Structure 1
Amino acid sequence: MHSEPWKPERIDDDALLDLVQRQTFRYFWDYAHPNCGLARDRGNPDRTTGNDLISIGGTGFGVMAIIVAAERGWIERREAIERLAAMLGFLDTAEQYNGVFPHYIDGNTGREISLWSDNAGADVVETAYLVQGLLCARQYFKDGDPSERALAAKIDALWRAVNWQAHVENDNIMLWHWLPTKEHQAFQRIEGWNECLITYVLAAMSPTYPVDARPYHEGWARGKVFRNGRTYYGIDLPLGPDLGGPLFFAHYSFLGLDPNGLRDRYADYWQQNHAQTMVNYSYCVSNPNGFAGYGPKCWGLTASEGDKGYRAFAPDQDEGVIAPTAALSSLPYTPAHSLAALRHFYFDLGPRIWGQFGFADSFNETVGWVAEDNLAINQGPIIAMIENYRSGLLWRLFMSCPEVKPGLEVLGFTAEPLVA
């Protein structure tokens, strides 16, 4: 795809959104691993040789990006089918446990790569992000020509093979990782409010290995950092840690799962995501630490690269690092504030932070630092959530899955999506 260099000429918001989506998409199209088409975990245009670390969750976000690209005509539908078929073919041969993939795999061999000790084995959360994206693709292509229907059937087979039950401990909580070794058979409880809601939703809606409501209510919702109920900057926050946590909590599970009208006994999830975003925005505007650049047009704290390393940046862990994905992926929740940030990032900071894959992952104006690498898990939500703001495409696709409504009902949700 053609890369657009930064240009100072003013364009309207719709044209700017299109530009940002298209340029960001190049990360998943031009920079995908050449052997398998899956999403590299991180990198930049100059770092290709030996960059074989594949992100399974980032690949799920990349699948959504490919759908958007096909729908908007940036690539031909045939090209999307060919790429997705190659990706699924590789995933069929990649290492997995009970149908659940590791967090990272090697783009050449498909073998697991573990970067730290408690990141080994099957990762059900990263697999959930992959499946969320693939189910959107299944719905998008299921009524197409024979090649499209064949792709949808392959996706359905992968989805049905995921054994969510293998990650349930004592019927009362889901576990993030599973290892086929006696001493570390399962570990890391998935509990409290964070980025993992989609894991419980998919587990409940599985046609082959469904998980009932007990782990959701007795594990997830009883985590020590689940209910909040406090007020920050005049904003009531139903769930989550103090000051809301990093903004990816409001993004990753909701790229396909539509928060409009989504409620259960604990929260209204549109209200939750809007409130968390507004707390994050208000914190950056108040800027208690006096970092350079913060303000109504420059805000957004989430997990990203930082000048001192990767962190889950948040109001209670602030080092002066702004990540464009935080504000841009919040566009459905805070359109006026997110568009103001978008214009600032492009027109004012563009000469410093715009590149071949869109905006830099992050920057710190206090120390004059800009991230060199982009990250798949931050690139993908920019494309997906801008699209949900513009057309509701991915929300509409995911919510059209026949498994969704029964699965949500199992967990006690009511859903009245904005986009039917």
Structure 2
Amino acid sequence: MLLIQRTAFSYFEHETNPANGLVLDKTAPDWPASIAAVGMALASYPVGVEAGFITRQAARERVLTTLRFFWQSPQGPEPDATGYHGFYYHFLDMQTGRRAAHCELSTIDTAFLLAGALTCAQYFTGEHLAEAEIRALADGLYRRADWTWALDQQNTVSMGWTPEQGFLAARWNGYDEALLLYILGLGSPTYPLPAASYPAWAAAYQWGNSYGIDYLYAGSLFTHQLSHIWVDFRGIQDEFMRGRGIDYFENSRRATLVQQRYAIDNPGRFKGYNQHCWGLTATDGPGPARRIVDGIVREFYDYLARGVPYGPDDGTIAPWVVVASLPFAPEVVLPSIDYFVHELDLHAGNPYGFKASFNPTWPDSQGSAYGWVSPWHFAIDQGPIVLMIENYRSGLIWQIMRRCPYIVQGLQRAGFGGGWLAQTVADSRPSGVVSAENLSR
């Protein structure tokens, strides 16, 4: 397990621009950086320090370079800026740090970026001047995000904004990875989301039953994982979960079990699915293409959010998302990891371990046991491997973020209570923080 974690961590060591801290979204030629990838890299550096993958000094320097870039980068309505209203464009040019192509200012990806920054603020608490600056910069970046602006005068948060079209029509409604977004937005001391935004988001929840398991539905497995990277939901409940008698951690465990049972049932009759080979999520695929396989017309997709049990499903499996479920259901995840590593040999020989995905049903596989394999590694696949293995092993990120006053405030304003949250007394600011306004822009 440590080898899998170490190999995934090496992505952030080698695919990061040392001049600005930007992390390559995908190992394809001329690809941009992803701000979500940067957030995962920031959160991974404390893990690397504790595991001995990187020295504290080296990690501190990487974090400072990254936070300084985001604090000093241009904010404004110009189409080639880096961000606006404290939010950042989904993709940035690896060298210049400016908006890549015509992508959107992304609220969810900014949430992941800020969560990574706040992780570093809570971890680097020493007296060293560099650690004090880390705390100040992370605090300043978080306080600058204007969550009320992102509402666009409605009850729920817009998914994004562009200079050309304004706010996107799509909004964060219903259970998904935006659980973290609402917690961060509600916890803001400067531009907080109104308390009513959280029940407005939750009003679109879908409670369902699959394979005899009751759970809060979201099809792609990553949606049951990403918020859990930073927040320990064990034993704490909001109004919805109190009414169901479980918590979000237990819900993610159930979603993991549904994924495995779907693969065993295999309603689409895809090749390779079994009790150890499962994991449908947003990932790369062999399409877009239509092929006849064993007399059946199959539709194959490229990068798409695949889901269980209602699809879409084209036979594409993502090993990384199985690893990221390790804290929830180790009894089914550990045998699956062993299967991917030893039976299918999907880990060895790749510079960063598991590729994004594979598809045994794809017909043009030249007899390979695992069919089509993505040629790429993705940063947002590598991050959950590093971070969720660590939460399973030591709970490090959960412990760090329990001390974050903004997370605590956001959870409380969302109506969470019980468990560790009831015992937590948080300061109004991270300890030893210096106002970022006093730092050089």
Q: TM-score, normalised by structure 2?
A: 0.83
Any gaps of 5 or more consecutive residues in structure 1?
Answer: 1-16
Deviation at 1:369, TM superposition (A): 0.5
Deviation at 1:210, TM superposition (A): 1.1
The equivalent residue for 2:199 is 217
Q: Secondary structure at the match of 2:170?
A: strand
Q: Would the aligned equivalents of 2:359 and 2:373 in 1 still touch at CA under 8 Å?
A: yes
The equivalent residue for 2:87 is 100
The equivalent residue for 2:22 is 38
The equivalent residue for 1:313 is 306
| 1:191 corresponds to which of 169, 173, 178 | 173
| 1:56 corresponds to which of 35, 44, 47 | 35
Q: 2:333 aligned with 1:355, yes or no?
A: no
Matched letter for residue 351 of structure 2? Q
Deviation at 1:39, TM superposition (A): 1.4
Matches of 1:328 and 1:157, distance apart in 2: 33
Matches of 1:353 and 1:284, distance apart in 2: 24
Q: Equivalent residues in 2 for 1:68-217 (5 A)?
A: 68-94=47-73, 95-114=82-101, 119-120=103-104, 122-180=105-163, 184-217=166-199
Q: Secondary structure at the match of 1:381?
A: helix
Q: Would the aligned equivalents of 2:150 and 2:157 in 1 still touch at CA under 8 Å?
A: yes
Matches of 1:394 and 1:78, distance apart in 2: 19
| 1:364 corresponds to which of 359, 362, 365 | 359
Matches of 1:208 and 1:351, distance apart in 2: 47
Matches of 1:210 and 1:142, distance apart in 2: 25
Matches of 2:388 and 2:96, distance apart in 1: 32
| 2:395 corresponds to which of 389, 392, 401 | 392
Q: Secondary structure at the match of 1:155?
A: helix
The equivalent residue for 1:330 is 325
The equivalent residue for 1:265 is 239
Matched letter for residue 109 of structure 1? T
Deviation at 1:287, TM superposition (A): 1.2
Q: Secondary structure at the match of 1:174?
A: coil
Deviation at 1:169, TM superposition (A): 3.3
Matches of 2:167 and 2:273, distance apart in 1: 45
Q: Would the aligned equivalents of 1:171 and 1:214 in 2 still touch at CA under 8 Å?
A: no
Matches of 1:398 and 1:144, distance apart in 2: 20
Q: Using the TM superposition, name which of 123-132 and 89-98 deviates more.
A: 89-98
Matches of 1:366 and 1:353, distance apart in 2: 22
Any gaps of 5 or more consecutive residues in structure 2?
Answer: 74-81, 242-246, 288-301, 363-370, 425-441
Q: Would the aligned equivalents of 2:39 and 2:115 in 1 still touch at CA under 8 Å?
A: yes
Q: Secondary structure at the match of 2:158?
A: strand
Q: Would the aligned equivalents of 2:182 and 2:410 in 1 still touch at CA under 8 Å?
A: no
Count of paired positions: 386
Q: Secondary structure at the match of 1:236?
A: strand
Percent identity, please: 35
Matched letter for residue 396 of structure 1? Q
Q: 2:226 aligned with 1:252, yes or no?
A: yes
Change (3 A) 1:352 1:379: closer
Q: Would the aligned equivalents of 2:346 and 2:354 in 1 still touch at CA under 8 Å?
A: no
Deviation at 1:403, TM superposition (A): 2.2
Q: Would the aligned equivalents of 1:259 and 1:417 in 2 still touch at CA under 8 Å?
A: no
Q: Using the TM superposition, name which of 30-39 and 305-314 deviates more.
A: 30-39
Deviation at 1:75, TM superposition (A): 0.7
The equivalent residue for 2:294 is none
Deviation at 1:405, TM superposition (A): 2.2
Q: Would the aligned equivalents of 1:35 and 1:107 in 2 still touch at CA under 8 Å?
A: no
Matches of 1:194 and 1:305, distance apart in 2: 20
